[in-house]
A and B are shown apart, each in its own frame.
Chain A
Amino acid sequence: MRNRTVGTAITVSAIGLLLAACGGPPGGAGAGGDGSSAVEQHAKEVYDKLNGLTGKERTKELVRLAEEEGEVSIYTSNSDMDDVVEVFEDTYDIDVSVYRGNSESVLQRVLQEQSAGFYGVDAVETNSTELNVLNKENYLYPYESELRDKVREEGQAENWIASRFNVFVVGWNTNRVKPGEEPKSLEELAEPKWRSKVSLELDDVDWFAGMAEHYEEQGMSQQEIVDLFKRIAKNAKIVKGHTVQGELLSAGQFDVALSSYSHTIDKAADEGAPVAWRTSSGQPVEPVVIRPNGIGLTKTAENPAAATLFADFELQQAGQQVFEENFRIGSMPSDQDPLAGYDTVDVPGDFLASMKKWDRLYAEVVKGGTEVGGE
């Protein structure tokens, strides 16, 4: 009798506790609306004030307000963030707290927090896809500055700004691919002589979308494009993750990696690894696909001025130099533009809207012509 009471009590209480804790269905509306007003209002005033100023006046006011705030919280997937923060903290009297995850977890964390009315983040620094989602969800406040207008055109996104670009290149192992034998184009890699010698990355859907659009502009039909990639995939070993891909490329597991990041290859080559993405005469496999990564300011920032100052800093010489030192390609055009003269392709502007389609097609490609991610 007693025993049964314990059992029942446990079940009932557990459910009770659970419901109390959840307070409703997951995915339901959070406290976002009302509780946000004061914070949001304050942030808006600061942003508007700064956006209304220009030149030295803006800089002076921005630094004053930012140092008054004294701290800023950044969520990022940028692997060079520690270096940027170090220089920033040396320059200004502001403490930066950094949450770093992969771009998916950065996005999920911001979505979760914002929908619950928890304002932990002042600026989000991540990949274009995730920033576009945040913009679509209406969580970002427009960032305006003279610096913004100087950024490469591909990087001037709606309500956020690119700080650097990921450049997808075809990389090769220089021990296994002799000078003169380097691939000239992606099409070439579909030929039988490259059988088992190339590698595709499992998740580079945005790279695939960029290349597909490029071929479409060249007059190929979608079917022809998918067929081409399937032929390449037949020659390919599928790898997950750019780090693994880079490591196995330099170890010689395969000769060519299709969608490497230029900085992965450059960094490895700098340490002496036998890898390259340009021939000795400086010629890469064209086109290279570029994807902006950038920073967006949140509407509910508790430190809006410091967040704005941080965005400025990333675009200024000091910030861009950190990216350069890490073999990244900054978003500000410079005299030694590493991409100058190369044929480049962007990730499609409507990538977010058609992501499911690209996802499905690319899954089909890497699966070697059979569908795995179907809807």
Chain B
Amino acid sequence: MMTTASPAVGTDTVAASAWWRRWLPTPKMLILGVVGLVIGYLALVPLYYLLWGTFFDADGVSVAGFERAYGNSQIFELIGNSLWFAAGAAVLSLVVGTALAYLNVRTDVPFKALFFAASIVPLIIPGILYTISWILLASPEIGLVNKLVEPVFGSGTFDVFTIWGMIWVEGLHLSPIVFLLMVAAFRSMDPSLEESALMSGATRWQVFRKVTVPLARPAIVASILIMVVRSLESFEVPALLGLQNGIYVFTSRIYFVLRSYPPDFAAAGALAVGLLILAIIGVALSNIVGRSGKNYQTVTGKGFRPRPMELGKWRSVVGAGIILYFILTVIAPLVVLLYTSLLKYYTAPTLNVFKTMTLENYRELIGMSKAVTALRNSLILGIGSATLVMAFMAIAAWFVVRSRVRGRQVVDQLAFVPLVIPGLVLGLALSFVYLRSPIPIYGTLFILLIAYCTRYMPYGMRYAVTSMHQISSELEESAHVSGASWWQTFRRVIVPLLAPGLLAGWVYILVVSFRELSSSILLYSPGNEVLSILIFEQFEDGEFTVLSALGVVMVLTLILLVSIAYKLGAKVGLNRTN
């Protein structure tokens, strides 16, 4: 293996020795080098596999995949639908996530405990269950909400099978990502800036618009970036909600070209390359925004105490809004799941149905021998990948934001690459490499860990970079002046300041890793089952009611875990009393 440059060493002359010492990598360079290498390796393996499959076929270089992918009269309609859907979902999640985060961190809004659940639960419920819950709630034919409002508004008021329905479900499902990012951003923001604006006579709305939002711009840009790319590649919601009325999106094409045998990897790759280009532009843009100097560095040498803003007479109004939102996004789908999990088959609620309810599905779950193994493996992988990713990305974020190394942006770009690589392609790339690797990784839990770290690296990086943008370099400089080494500064100054962002990223990765299926399904081995495989099996077996029970159990387990994480996180995080 190559390490950082260490050419042959001269032995006999003093000059040569000095020259040698000059080239000896410092610990800082070693650490940065290793982190850069790991990111490069994780990103390039699947990318290389993807690009090779896209541009090369039996006869050499070919762009036929692009023709098959894009050479279609309907591609513009598909892209149009996709953009509309992605933009809508991004805006909805951004507005909802930001508003909730702001209220939670910066005001004395009531029911703060609900926020926590409201922000996490939509993320925990597996996409397919969340979407089906919404069908059962808002389908014009059988939707429970529609039945509820029928006497007032007539039948079929809400229709989830429209582009608006798709935006609604996807936007709500994604809003926790924004919430977590924005909470971290608002926590690290000095409220004295807003207070001065208020003192100078600005209204609250003006302060929010002119001071708060501009200060949070790096987090907002990161949110938009992730949301847009995520919604562009989302397939679950468009497949379950869009198809019914013939709304096709860009990703349906990836699905179609991979469905047949032999799968058309060239065309799928060509489509992914389209997303890749978009993502590269996005990351570059987000860096330009973040780079505008010290504008966003709100964590400076000056101490601050984030004091909640008093909402005054609005407190009860906002409180009611929160309750409504909570009922709509968390309680309603969760109640549908809970209700379904107590039935033998789904049927609209009547008095008779309540009499037949049973805990049979939960009993079946407990009786499943694989359930315990799967839960254990998912915990190991979730905690493992979340911790590894956030640790590496914290260092990588310093490298990208703070160092002056030329080409540092490349690391940021590389870390984002896995977001556009289809899960199946990642699975194939990893099994290709590790089936041929002398290190026995194939068939172990470790290959799943590598897959998860790769998949979640982009999120980890966005969370870490966004927080890093907020930390002023003067803190590091003073640590340096006081004689601290780079590593000491990093551990004792930067990591504690980054803590809100790192914790948010950690929670996000932990939660979504429980759902990862598309690469796990190819890479797991007997005995190494994970929870998502179990969900898949129940789903394939048509056990929708057992699946609902599993969904309920997952929500409860992860809420518990995340609560613990936040309790612990509060201890190591930003000490707000100083």
Question: A residues within 8 Å of B by Cβ?
Answer: 2-18, 21-23, 25-27, 30-31, 73, 77, 79, 97-102, 104-105, 107-109, 112-113, 116, 118, 120, 129-130, 133, 202-203, 237-244, 246-248, 250-254, 264, 267-268, 271-274, 352, 355-356, 359, 363, 366-368, 370-375
Contact = CB atoms under 8 A, between A and B. Distances in A.
B44 A247 contact: no
29 contacts: A3-B403, A3-B406, A5-B4, A6-B4, A7-B407, A9-B3, A13-B37, A21-B41, A22-B49, A26-B429, A27-B53, A30-B436, A77-B540, A108-B428, A109-B431, A118-B435, A120-B443, A129-B261, A130-B261, A202-B239, A238-B244, A243-B544, A244-B132, A252-B141, A359-B259, A371-B74, A372-B72, A372-B248, A375-B68
A7 B39 CA distance: 13
Given A13-B37, A244-B240, A359-B259, A264 B253 contact: no
A112 B240 contact: no
Contacts of B132: 244, 247
Interface in B230-258: 239-240, 243-246, 248, 252-253, 256-257
A366 B244 CA distance: 10
B37 to A, nearest CB: 6
Nearest to A240: B239
Contacts of A238: 243-244, 246
Contacts of B260: 355-356, 359, 373
A246 B542 contact: yes
A55 to B, nearest CB: 34
Interface residues of B, number: 87
A6 B141 CA distance: 62
A18 B44 contact: yes
Contacts of B537: 79, 100
A248 B135 contact: yes
A363 B544 contact: no
B81 to A, nearest CB: 12
A272 B345 contact: yes
Given A3-B405, A17-B37, A251-B347, 9 more contacts: A10-B40, A13-B40, A21-B433, A26-B49, A112-B432, A238-B246, A250-B345, A250-B347, A371-B73
B136 interface: yes
A2 to B, nearest CB: 7
Contacts of B560: none
B542 A268 contact: yes
Contacts of A267: 542
A147 B536 CA distance: 33
Interface of B: 1-5, 25, 29, 32-33, 36-37, 40-41, 44-45, 48-49, 52-53, 56, 68, 72-74, 78, 128, 132, 135-136, 139, 141-142, 161, 239-240, 243-246, 248, 252-253, 256-257, 259-261, 263, 344-348, 403-408, 410-411, 424, 427-429, 431-433, 435-437, 442-443, 521-522, 524-527, 533, 536-537, 539-542, 544
Contacts of B141: 252-254
Nearest to A245: B542
Nearest to B244: A237
B435 A101 contact: no
B345 A373 contact: no
B239 A97 contact: no
Contacts of A355: 260-261
Nearest to B368: A82
B238 to A, nearest CB: 10
Contact of A243 (B411, B428, B540): B540
B160 to A, nearest CB: 11
A243 B535 CA distance: 13
A79 B256 CA distance: 24
Given A112-B431, A246-B542, A359-B260, A2 B29 contact: yes
A272 B344 contact: yes
Given A17-B37, A240-B243, A243-B542, A3 B404 contact: yes
Nearest to B262: A133
A105 B52 contact: no
Nearest to A99: B526
A98 B433 CA distance: 23
Contacts of B407: 7, 11
B360 to A, nearest CB: 10
Contacts of A15: 44
Contacts of A252: 141-142, 348
A372 B253 contact: yes
A198 to B, nearest CB: 12
Nearest to A275: B345
Contacts of A30: 435-436
Contacts of B431: 109, 112-113
Nearest to A15: B44
A110 to B, nearest CB: 11
Contacts, number: 224
Nearest to A351: B261
Given A22-B45, A22-B432, A25-B56, A7 B406 contact: yes
A370 to B, nearest CB: 7
Given A238-B243, A240-B240, A10 B33 contact: yes
A7 B542 contact: no
A345 to B, nearest CB: 22
Contacts of B429: 26
B542 A373 contact: no
A341 B405 CA distance: 77
A203 B259 contact: yes
A242 B543 CA distance: 11
A73 B443 CA distance: 13
Contacts of B542: 79, 242-243, 246-247, 264, 267-268
Given A7-B406, A118-B442, A202 B53 contact: no
Nearest to B2: A13
A355 B433 CA distance: 30
Nearest to A368: B246
Given A27-B52, A129-B261, A251-B346, A17 B41 contact: yes
B52 A21 contact: no
Nearest to B408: A7
A242 B539 CA distance: 9
B403 to A, nearest CB: 7
A273 B527 CA distance: 35
B131 to A, nearest CB: 9
A251 B41 contact: no
B142 A10 contact: no
Contact of B256 (A21, A133, A372): A372
Contacts of B541: 79, 243
A251 to B, nearest CB: 5
B410 A11 contact: yes
A99 B431 CA distance: 15
Nearest to A98: B526
Contacts of B432: 22, 26, 112, 116
Contacts of B344: 271-273
A246 B142 CA distance: 15
A248 B340 CA distance: 13
A247 B544 contact: yes
A253 B248 contact: no
A250 B544 CA distance: 12
A215 to B, nearest CB: 22
A242 B136 CA distance: 17
Contact of A367 (B1, B139, B248, B406): B248
Nearest to B519: A105
A370 B74 contact: yes
A80 to B, nearest CB: 8
Contacts of B427: 105, 108
B554 to A, nearest CB: 18
Nearest to B235: A240
B477 to A, nearest CB: 18
Contact of B435 (A8, A116, A133): A116
Contacts of B40: 10-11, 13-14, 17-18
Complex A-B, nearest 7 residue pairs according to Cβ-Cβ distance, in ascending order: A14-B40, A116-B435, A10-B36, A273-B345, A97-B526, A3-B405, A238-B243
